[in-house]
């Protein structure tokens, strides 16, 4: 911040603090990443952890499903 002195009508000096313009590329990158991640989460574009389906028990053999296609 830089201090700028200014005199008011009564002659008192007022100090006004103004931010010094500074561009931090790392902060800007982090800000963009957070904004994109939050936006994607809100939009539902980020896949959520899948819910576990029925798992075969270890003592069961794997199931085999046979499909027959009839041609006419």
pLDDT for residue 14 is more than 70: no
Distance, CA of 52 to CA of 63 (rounded, Å): 18
pTM of the model: 0.33
pLDDT tens by residue, 23-59: 778 888 889 999 998 888 888 776 667 777 777 677 7
- DSSP letters along 1-70, please? -EEEEEE-TTSPEEEEEEPPP---HHHHHHHHHHHHHHHHHHHT-SPPPPPP-PPPPTTSPPP-------
pLDDT tens by residue, 35-45: 998 888 888 77
Sketch the domain layout of the chain as residue ranges: 22-47
């Amino acid at each position: 911040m830089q201090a700028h002195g200014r005199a008011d009508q009564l002659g008192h000096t007022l100090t006004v603090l103004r931010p010094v313009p500074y561009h931090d590329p790392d902060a800007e990158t982090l800000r963009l990443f957070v904004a994109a991640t939050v936006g994607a989460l809100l939009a539902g574009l980020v896949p959520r952890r899948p819910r576990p389906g029925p798992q075969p028990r270890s003592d069961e053999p794997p199931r085999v499903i046979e499909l027959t296609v009839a041609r006419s």
